[in-house]
Amino acid sequence: MKNAAKQQITVLGSTGSIGVSTLDVIARHPERYTVYALTANSRIDGILLQCERFKPEVAVVGTAEAAQVLQSALRQKGLATEVLYGEDALCQVAGAPRTDTVMAAIVGSAGLAPALAAANAGKKVLLANKEALVMSGQLFIDAVHQNGATLLPIDSEHNAIFQCLPPTYMRSPEHYGIEKITLTASGGPFLTLDLNLLDSVTPEQAIKHPKWVMGRKISVDSATMMNKGLEVIEAHWLFGMPSGQIDVVIHPQSIIHSMVSFLDGSVVAQMSYPDMRLPIAYALAYPERISSGVAPLDLAKVGLLQFESPDYRRFPCLRLAYEALDAGGIMPIALNAANEIAVAAFLEQHLGFARISEVVERVLDKSAGKSTATDLESVLQHDNRARELAKSLIFP
Ligand code: NAD
Ligand code: MG
């Protein structure tokens, strides 16, 4: 491939778990990809090393002070990368004419505005930041369609579903003989823990995921299964699937990443060892295939694949997510915002693990009947309102 044909990539959240895996895949294919921009919130040493290696045109960090530190360190090393800071700069690099592909891998609601900016600019959007889609739903999907953007799911389950659906699939399950989709879940570290002990688990225990190495927030979400709940809502928007046709099954080995059931009884599943470089490589090269660095699957070595239904007593967050999706309107925004606050409070040891779902449920109760949010500003207003409500419940 000639230099001119290389994809110019912006990696939003490049110092995170997904960001690092993305750069790993990019580094394997220098003939295909170059990095246009990298962004990090606070890990300046991390993004400095990444800038030395990938030589982006632009780097974005959280604050003016951090930008100054990074800019002078880059100058000292003779690198020409321009350093910007703040949310406007994130939106700028996401929508820049010089980039064609944007990996949206900032965690939580902070990633919404830049992900939406990429969609509005008609980019190929690789969406890891599920919270952005949960919050903005139809707004995001409309931005993709109205601006000719391409939306490719990075979440391993949705990437699996995307791989299993017919290539012409267009968000209408009834036209393709699709009965349901099933998202798999590992069940997290507390799948078999005595229910009475759940409230005394520590952040260290919660973030120690049995199958995936991920950021702290999503690791806690996996332990409560709010992650799967957010993914149910994400699947609804990505694939135009009603909640009644989205199932969840616990599969502790994390080999089957999700599956599609058709009317004739066929079930098409996607399998691999659990490693995010696979969905990232798939989306980067789509519709082609490239190597990802993931070892070939040896099913004889894996041996056993198990499945069980999730227990809502152990995982009330999953039930709450289905309820928020069915209630519609701003309820998914409230669900996500309350969860972000409750998880942060748990990580800072201000809230017991079992109280995460209680906070989310109470915020949902208090948000019921509120209207819809049809633009970014009102999404962020409702997000903020739910955050304040959650804080007032945690710190009365
Ligand atoms: P992480 O915590 O490891 O990294 C988060 C990144 O976002 C970092 O680069 C950080 O600098 C940046 N960031 C955080 N707060 C920010 C802010 N306020 N402004 C700007 N940048 C900010 O998280 P992760 O595990 O890489 O997850 C990223 C996203 O991908 C999440 O939405 C997560 O749900 C999703 N995801 C992750 C995985 C996984 O395996 N890690 C799998 C599926 C989906
Ligand atoms: Mg996932």
Backbone angles phi, psi at 101, to 5 degrees: -130, 130
Would you say the CB of residue 219 lies under 6 angstroms from ligand 1?
no
Mutation to probe ligand 1, out of 61, 109, 134, 214 (largest number of atoms < 8 A from CB): 214
Residue with tokens 């007032």: 392
The Cα–Cα gap between 238 and 245 comes to 13
Residue with tokens 């659906």: 165
Would you say the CB of residue 25 lies under 6 angstroms from ligand 1?
no
Would you say the CB of residue 17 lies under 6 angstroms from ligand 1?
yes
pLDDT of res. 363:
98
> Beta-carbon neighbour count of residue 52 at 10 Å?
14
Nearest to 50 by CA among 5, 1, 12: 12
Nearest to 109 by CA among 132, 92, 80: 132
pLDDT, the chain, mean: 96
Q: Say which ligand is closest to the CA of 258.
A: 2
How many Å separate Cα 7 from the centre of its chain?
22
Query: Is 60 exceeded by the pLDDT of residue 4?
Result: no
Query: For 108-142, how does the pLDDT look when each residue is reduced to its tens digit (9 = 90+)?
Result: 999 999 999 999 999 999 999 999 999 999 999 99
The CA dihedral of 272, 156, 148, 113, to the nearest 10 degrees, is: -150
Contact 233, 332 (CB under 8 A): yes
Contact 261, 267 (CB under 8 A): yes
pLDDT of res. 213:
86
List the shell of residues around ion ligand 2, using CB closer than 5 Å: 155-157
Query: For 199-241, how does the pLDDT look when each residue is reduced to its tens digit (9 = 90+)?
Result: 999 999 999 988 888 999 999 999 999 999 999 999 999 999 9
pLDDT of res. 2:
44
Residues ≥6 apart with Cβ < 8 Å to 228: 183, 185, 222, 248, 310, 315, 318, 321
Query: Is 80 exceeded by the pLDDT of residue 5?
Result: no
Mutation to probe ligand 1, out of 85, 92, 112, 218 (largest number of atoms < 8 A from CB): 218
> CA of 226: how far to CAs of 109, 146, 159, 188, in Å?
15, 31, 19, 11
Six token digits for residue 108: 């939580």
- Outline where DSSP puts E strands in the chain: 7-12, 33-39, 58-61, 82-85, 101-104, 124-127, 150-153, 178-185, 246-250, 256-262, 267-271
Would you say the CB of residue 183 lies under 6 angstroms from ligand 1?
no
pLDDT of res. 1:
45
User: Pairing state of beta strands 256-262 and 178-185?
Assistant: antiparallel
Kindly give the number of the ligand 1 atom that is closest to the alpha carbon of 19: 26
CA–centroid distance, residue 359 to ligand 2 (Å) = 23
The Cα–Cα gap between 225 and 49 comes to 34
The SS3 call for residue 373 is coil
Mutation to probe ligand 1, out of 45, 106, 152, 380 (largest number of atoms < 8 A from CB): 106
Query: For 283-334, how does the pLDDT look when each residue is reduced to its tens digit (9 = 90+)?
Result: 999 999 999 999 999 999 999 999 999 999 999 999 999 999 999 999 999 9
Query: Is 80 exceeded by the pLDDT of residue 342?
Result: yes
Look at ligand 1, atom 36, and give the residue with the nearest C-alpha. 128
Q: Mean pLDDT throughout 93-115? A: 98
The Cα–Cα gap between 30 and 315 comes to 43
Q: Say which ligand is closest to the CA of 113.
A: 1
Would you say the CB of residue 215 lies under 6 angstroms from ligand 1?
yes
CA–centroid distance, residue 37 to ligand 1 (Å) = 16
CA–centroid distance, residue 216 to ligand 1 (Å) = 9
Mutation to probe ligand 1, out of 15, 17, 294 (largest number of atoms < 8 A from CB): 17
Kindly give the number of the ligand 1 atom that is closest to the alpha carbon of 42: 11
Query: For 129-181, how does the pLDDT look when each residue is reduced to its tens digit (9 = 90+)?
Result: 999 999 999 999 999 999 999 999 999 999 999 999 999 998 888 899 999 99
Kindly give the number of the ligand 1 atom that is closest to the alpha carbon of 219: 25
- Band of residue 3 on the pLDDT scale cut at 50, 70, 90: very low
Kindly give the number of the ligand 1 atom that is closest to the alpha carbon of 129: 32
Would you say the CB of residue 221 lies under 6 angstroms from ligand 1?
no
Look at ligand 1, atom 41, and give the residue with the nearest C-alpha. 214
The Cα–Cα gap between 28 and 257 comes to 24
Would you say the CB of residue 41 lies under 6 angstroms from ligand 1?
yes
